[in-house]
Structure 1
Amino acid sequence: MTSGTIVGNRSDEGEDTPEPERRRLVVPAAAVIVAGIAAVAGVLWSVFDLPLGVDLAVYRSGALAVLHGEALYEPLRALPNSAQGLPFTYPPVAALLFLPLVLVPWQVATGLLGAASILALGLAIRLALDHEERQLGGRAVTALVLAALVLAPVRDTLGLGQINLVLMGLVMVDVLTLRGSRWSGVLTGVAAAIKLTPLIFVPHLFLVGRRADAARAIATFLGLNVAATLLLPGDTWKFWASAMLGGNKATANGWPGNQSVNGLVHRLVGDGPRVLAAVAVVSIGCLIVAAMLVRRPHREGRPLDALLGMAMCGLVISPISWPHHWVWVVPLLVVLLCRMGTLGGWLLLSALAVVFTVVSLYFFTVWDVHLHHHQGPAWVLPHTIASNAYLVAAAISVLAVVRTTRTVSSPGWRRRDPRFGERTTSAMPGNTK
């Protein structure tokens, strides 16, 4: 195997830059990317007049509360003015894992989390391209990373100091690259222990036949929570008894920032005793549909399709899905973009346009229409669509992916999954068995 085959699955033909020189360019390129991202984020946040690192401040304050023996789910004393009143809504495991953030100055913590998020973003894009068998170089991936900064979920994650990109990276690496290894499932368990929403990927592993990986994910999740119980028994009890469900009680379920089924139902019918039942029924329906959809693409060697379907399901059925939770639109957009030339191109084009518009211009769709819907009946329909814009985009884009038939499956992915057996591996180019 040549070095050209190892790096990015590219052949030696057409390589403009020798391997040693390309490696020397990595650090300067990374520095330029980080500097550019910092500049863009600063401009965007100043335009929208938003405080930087609000959620990072909550992470650090939660870790400081643990360090000083204070209650984690009471008002945090170490919060800066920009984050006053915000609660710590994560499990105690997260507070323990956030402890390194308080061992360095605020500026360093901000830079470290931002760099980790950017690396996770680039990794997600690269994995999506590899899944689609697109042999793009580092400059093309860098351009896609910079383009992704326009998207509201990415912009908000970086500006708020959120960890959504990091968690997405952990899950994608676990599900797409560690399959078949004895560590597969561990990263999903870690991600779920930090923030409960990645638990949706445990049934995903089970549904696609990776029961051992699902068991490892559950064991990791439970092991970390047992450790947290031993170290923080009071906080652990309070989280599971009350704080888990009450962390976002200050925000109305029907607030347009909550782009989930729970938010949709509350916006359409308001509050009432039957709303919870309606939300439960719709959510169960979404789970059933997702369970039906993920198995086929996985069997056909398209694990990212299956993973994205389950990720969209998790966002839809979560009680709270803020815009910055929707970072999974990045690999989804990469997949849609790569399939523009396949069957159903018009559907993919419309899906790509809708998703990109919604996630990049969130403030001009959801918020503007929400603020003006009271001006007359003509605003009712735009208000309804815009207030549920992410859900509409998710439905269209998932439909586009499902309707798309790939003409070439991914032999590289199939080779790493023992479920596909010898028949699949023998069909791979260059296999002499």
Structure 2
Amino acid sequence: MKKFITVFLPIIATIIFAFYFTSQFIQPSPKKEITIATGSKDGNYYKTALEYKKLLEKEKVKVNIITSAGSIENIELLKEKKADIAFIQNGTTFDSNNKSIKSLASIYYEPLWVFYKNEGFTIDYIIQLISKKISIGNIGSGTRDLANKILTDNGIDSNNSQILDLNNKKASEALEKGDIDALFIVSSHNSPIINKLLANPKINLFSFKRARAYSRKYTFLEALTLYEGTLDLYKNLPDENINILSTTANLVVRENFSNELKRLVLKKVVEVHSKKDLFAKTNQFPNSHNMKIELDEEADKYFKYGDTWLEKIFPYWIASNIDRLKILLIPLLTLLFPLFKGVFPLYNWTMRSKIYRWYEEIREIDNEIDKASKTTLNDYKKRINTLREEISKETKVPLAFMGEYYNLQLHLDHIESKIDKRLLN
């Protein structure tokens, strides 16, 4: 017991202190709540956010959704920390010196659709829209930002044309009535507005003859082909091959947002967006390609390595908690060697002490034999026989220690022999 106190108690105390010290560096488990900034309620960003919400709430994460005018406003919501994650249109004007916002993932194609009033002739170049009434989307939207870039490239501005900031619904209604000449809209091909405009014989869809030229100038744009009949074979929509430009929808995240929640969101993003689409191949999205905002470090790790081995074995929150606690392995591994080094001697000492505890009484008898009377010697002999029985019943040791056990028996025989010799004298 004394050896245990002097040797192992300090080791245990050191381990406890080391665990306490390192625990001060462990990040607390994040609050299971995410606020996502989308666009309008009738837009694809909002619908996608609802899909995320459904999946994340199965993981016991509360999801708040904020609507906005679009990408520009969403960036401001992140800067003001009113949102944690936001949808933006790739290529949206952004201050590259601002490091408070990082890209999380590119999640799907967002085609740019340019519709114009059918006046009996085809418009082949954007410059032909000069002097026209053109809607380019809400102030604060990514559509307006992209449309302005393309119009400026073609020398069109408010000095030579009437530029309007109508939302998608009002702009489409105005075009159908003939109140405006053209509209720009960035939206999914599944949008009811897109399908309605395509089906209207009074409205034409602009085909970018120079789509590849635009995609070379703006790396966030990609030239795609919408083939004849793709959207509706029965109605043959569109009625010819159309060259379109497409950006991508991006998820961006504010600084200091939890890495654990980032990974969880990315897992759900993969679940939602990895399927084949009209323009995308299976597993083409999500990805980290051509994003204009710097990629988040944790997202970069996720795209390179995927789920950790812990995430593959355990449910996500268990895996993340184990990962956070891995720092506690430092003191454990540091002290493991001396601990094991001490365990084996302690074990040996414990086993041998079961045998050696009998030697104190045996030694006392041995010291008294030479001067004891015959009566006392007979008592000692009886005591030796009693000790044999007690040792046989009480001393249970592994085979590795049977040598010490039989040595004890030999010593008893030796003492008994000495007693017999004294009794004969």
Q: Could you say which structure has the larger radius of gyration?
A: 2
Higher relative contact order (CA 8 A, sep 6+): 2
Q: TM-score, normalised by structure 1?
A: 0.21
Higher helix share: 1
Higher strand share: 2
Q: TM-score, normalised by structure 2?
A: 0.22
